């Protein structure tokens, strides 16, 4: 299993990538939430950044499921596929300022994004935020080439003590990416703390071992947005032990 570390697009990328490399991560997940540059300029920057550590996965911004967003996201595919980014992760939940979007509209939009990805020999994964597994299953069934990203931290929001294993059991046939972080089981954005492992209430070891026992051997991204570089190094040591 390859273990990567996430970046945060409001902070300088070079420093973050250097820290991930020095910590021993296999790859970086490129956070695109606040990236506004044109695809040609992003390609130039990403080419330079990828010399530090492979940019194997990317996290697309929260979608509004509009034509403009589709064009913007396809631009990200065009910029990053040439530097080796293989997986582009997206939420099913709308962006905070977006109106509620019907499920069939979301499915059609995701289908268009997946087709664009397939044309560029890359893949798209759909991440759980607060949707139950059956809602994600409907979207995955509607778009056969869409993968599933199990976010262990999100699975435990709203005090769902067994959330990680519940999502895994329901959707493991489509599992293509895993996100790991800790929290206290709170609600919404405030509860989604992205803490270092052991700083919240999630039994992360149990969930990661369950993922490994299910036969998954793909990419796992540590998504810590709080703490220190030493916290990331410590988490990486734990993760490598748990996935053996």
CATH numbers and ranges of domains, the chain: 2-242 (3.20.20.150)
* Per-residue pLDDT at 25: 99
Report the C-alpha dihedral over residues 102, 163, 217, 56, rounded to 10 degrees: 50
* Per-residue pLDDT at 226: 86
- For residue 191, the number of C-alpha atoms closer than 13 Å in the C-beta half-sphere is 17
Place of tokens 């980014």: 85
Cβ-based neighbours of 102, under 8 Å, separated by 6 or more: none
Token readout for 202 is: 């999630």
Strands 175-180, 219-222: pairing kind: parallel
Q: Per-residue pLDDT for the chain (244 aa), expressed as one digit of tens each? A: 999 999 999 999 999 999 999 999 999 999 999 999 999 999 999 999 999 999 999 999 999 999 999 999 999 999 999 999 999 999 999 988 788 999 999 999 999 999 999 999 999 999 999 999 999 999 999 999 999 999 999 999 999 888 999 999 999 999 999 999 999 999 998 999 999 999 999 999 999 999 999 999 999 999 999 889 999 999 999 999 999 9
């Amino acid at each position: 299993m390859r273990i990567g570390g996430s970046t945060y697009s409001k902070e300088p990328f070079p420093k973050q990538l250097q820290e991930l490399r020095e910590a021993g991560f296999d790859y970086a997940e490129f956070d695109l939430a606040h990236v506004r540059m044109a695809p040609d300029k992003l390609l130039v920057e990403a080419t330079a950044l990828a010399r530090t550590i492979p940019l194997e996965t990317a996290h697309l911004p929260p979608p509004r499921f509009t034509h403009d967003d589709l064009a913007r996201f396809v631009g990200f595919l065009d910029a990053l596929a040439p530097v080796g980014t293989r997986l582009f992760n997206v939420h099913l939940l709308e962006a905070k300022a977006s109106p509620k979007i019907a499920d069939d509209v979301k499915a059609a939009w995701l289908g268009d994004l997946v087709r664009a990805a397939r044309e560029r020999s890359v893949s798209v994964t759909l991440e759980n935020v607060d949707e139950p597994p059956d809602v994600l299953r409907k979207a995955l069934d509607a778009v056969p080439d869409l993968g599933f990203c199990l976010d262990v931290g999100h699975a435990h929001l709203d005090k769902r003590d067994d959330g990680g294993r519940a999502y895994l059991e329901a959707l493991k046939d489509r599992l293509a990416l895993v996100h790991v972080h800790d929290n206290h089981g709170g609600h919404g954005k405030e509860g989604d703390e992205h803490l270092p492992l052991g700083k919240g209430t999630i039994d992360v070891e149990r969930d990661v071992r369950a993922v490994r026992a299910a036969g998954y051997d793909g990419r796992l991204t540590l998504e810590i947005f709080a703490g220190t570089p030493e916290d990331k190094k410590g988490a990486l040591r734990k993760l490598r032990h748990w996935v053996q």
